[in-house]
Amino acid sequence: MMRITQNNFFNTFVSDQQNIKEQLNRLNQQISSGMKIKYGYEDPSVFTDTLRLDYEEHTLTQAVDVATDAQNFANNTDSVMFQFTDALTRFKTLLIQAANSSNADSNYYAISNELKSLKEHLVNLGNSSINGRYLFSGSALDVKPLDEKGNYYGNGDSIKAVVGAEVEVPYNIPGEELFLGEDGNVSRKVTTNIPLARFDSQEPVTLDTTIEALTGNTDDYDFIIHGRKSDGAVFSDTVTLSSQKTVKDIMDAVANEYGSDLVNVGLVNGYINVTDKFQGSSLLDFHLFARSNTDPSNPTKRIEFIKSENVGADVYDRALFAKIDTSRFRANMPLTLVQDATNGTDAKKGEYAKTNTLLADLSTATSLEGKSVTLELNGTPTTIDIHDTTTIQNLLDTIDATINSPDARAVLDDQGRIVVENLNGSDTVTAFALYSDSTPPDLLFNTNDALTIDDPKHDLFAALDEAIEAVENGLLYPDGENLINPRNPGIENALARIDHVMEHVSKEHTKIGAMSNSLKYSVERSETLKINIQTLRSEVLDTDIGEATMKLNQLSLNFQAMLASIAKIQNISLVNYL
């Protein structure tokens, strides 16, 4: 039989009292603080869940901040793009107005001045910045993307907002994509710049006009056709046509050289147009010249189709590089890969070449071993041997070695064109040409080719400049006899290029709208998840006031009952017990 002493009774009383007080104190603390625990040791499971939920809430808060900032950036870009579209629409309207052949010279002057103002406005829009960050400079946010001429100095990188675990959303339009973009749904289209006219009336020819009516004599004519197909294959051929053949026969001969199922050959106001049926390729090239089969050296018995400044109409790939300013000579032929790079880089067919590009990747020839190119420097030719392993940089180094002067050098620009520069105000280079020695040429560096009406690759500000120049000179159509710029496509063809520019800008505008919406949805999703996590955190950590109050009242009653029982028991003595 267990003996209950006063000491046992007292210890039990103190323990029960302390236990109930602790529970009361904890419930009072939960009610006053609104949280189930204050320290981690009070309930490790609640503490662990709370830490995890706090981390997730903090991550979502960061995602919302990042996505909101990116959305603001995208929305500002969207606003600028609207202004871009408005300015280009006005530009096109003025071009249509200039295309009205009844305009006086003063009208062309006034229109060209407004076009120049619009171009300046577009350059300023391209240099828009928000909070010190340029909208169109790619990832180089601190680099001013455009100079006053429209030359681009940013990069082509996208910037992305991390809006979740392994979830990134782009929110910019790189200027390289906007101003120097490429559209795979566009076909390259070129045109001659000397209109064909009847010998007797100088009226533009039709498809039925005979060669005799075109030339005024009955000689047979050799038509020398040069060009490059959309797959990069270069061809040179001569087709002889009698005087009774028609302009349609000339066009059929051109189409047959390319493959009639590969190109469309048309006639517009006396100009022959060639359009690539294959979309997305910028490789198509075209040259045409004709001479009397019986009297080939007679200059009066020639038919000229394409002409460039200081270049004979009979010259194709051996044309001198054009002098673009007082110190630079530049090729007009972008070096473009005709196959995926074979030198271990990720360059793809159709891309502009880089200095490490193999010359072999610019040609459809089986091999370049044993081949050569000729460099003409100031009229002096030099033969350069090339191989399958020769890169563009190797070629540039050889050109530099041939020039042999610290005051001139050869470089490759960002559009794959070879440029020879005089430095320090020198005149080391006064004339320059570079061409393949094979026939047909394995490589094209610079050609007296047909004028470009449209191309998958485009240069927005170069297209504007061409249009402005055409209006300044009142050129409705190309004019190979024009001494100022025989290679300007004219207002009518400039309109086609501007249409492409506007379509491209519209497509890019659509992209930024989609990006903005995607960021908006990301913000909404993150905010909803934050609310869910806050709700879950509340369920885990927050005190249920009703339940805690009920428990508090219950414990208070128990505590009071315990105190009353103890008071009664304390008053009972041993005598009472006996």
pLDDT at 496 over 60: yes
Higher per-residue confidence, 520 vs 12: 520
pLDDT digits (tens, 9 = 90+) for 184-212: 999 999 999 999 999 999 999 999 999 99
Determine contact, residues 47/37, Cβ cutoff 8 Å: yes
Q: State the burial class of residue 93 (Cβ atoms within 10 Å of its Cβ: 0-12, 13-18, 19+).
A: exposed
pLDDT at 3 over 60: no
- The alpha-carbon radius of gyration of the chain (Å, integer) is 40
pLDDT digits (tens, 9 = 90+) for 260-282: 899 999 999 999 999 999 999 99
What per-residue confidence (pLDDT) applies to 547?
59
Tokens encoding 356: 């490490």
What per-residue confidence (pLDDT) applies to 531?
76
What mean pLDDT is predicted for residues 272-297? 95
pLDDT at 490 over 70: yes
What mean pLDDT is predicted for residues 409-428? 93
pLDDT digits (tens, 9 = 90+) for 391-400: 999 999 999 9
| pLDDT band, residue 419 (cuts 50/70/90) | very high
Task: Please state, in angstroms and rounded to a whole number, the distance separating the CA atoms of residues 257 and 367.
Answer: 23
Indicate the range of 17-31, 223-237, 248-262 predicted with least confidence.
17-31
pLDDT at 289 over 80: yes
pLDDT digits (tens, 9 = 90+) for 553-564: 666 666 666 666
Percent of the chain with pLDDT over 70: 81
| pLDDT band, residue 161 (cuts 50/70/90) | confident
What mean pLDDT is predicted for residues 287-310? 93
pLDDT digits (tens, 9 = 90+) for 66-113: 888 888 999 999 999 999 999 999 999 999 999 886 767 778 889 999
Indicate the range of 1-10, 16-25, 160-169, 330-339 predicted with least confidence.
1-10
What mean pLDDT is predicted for residues 511-527? 84
Tokens encoding 94: 């003025």
What per-residue confidence (pLDDT) applies to 414?
86
Percent of the chain with pLDDT over 90: 62
Q: State the burial class of residue 536 (Cβ atoms within 10 Å of its Cβ: 0-12, 13-18, 19+).
A: middle
Considering the chain, what is the average pLDDT of its residues?
86
| pLDDT band, residue 526 (cuts 50/70/90) | confident
What per-residue confidence (pLDDT) applies to 164?
73
What per-residue confidence (pLDDT) applies to 1?
46
Q: What is the 3-state secondary structure (H, E, C) of 431-494?
A: CEEEEECCCCCCCCCCCCCCEEEECCECCHHHHHHHHHHHHHCCCCCCCCCCCCCCCCCHHHHH
| Torsion of the alpha carbons at 572, 573, 577 and 578, rounded to the nearest 10 | -160
Which H helix or E strand runs over 323? strand 322-323
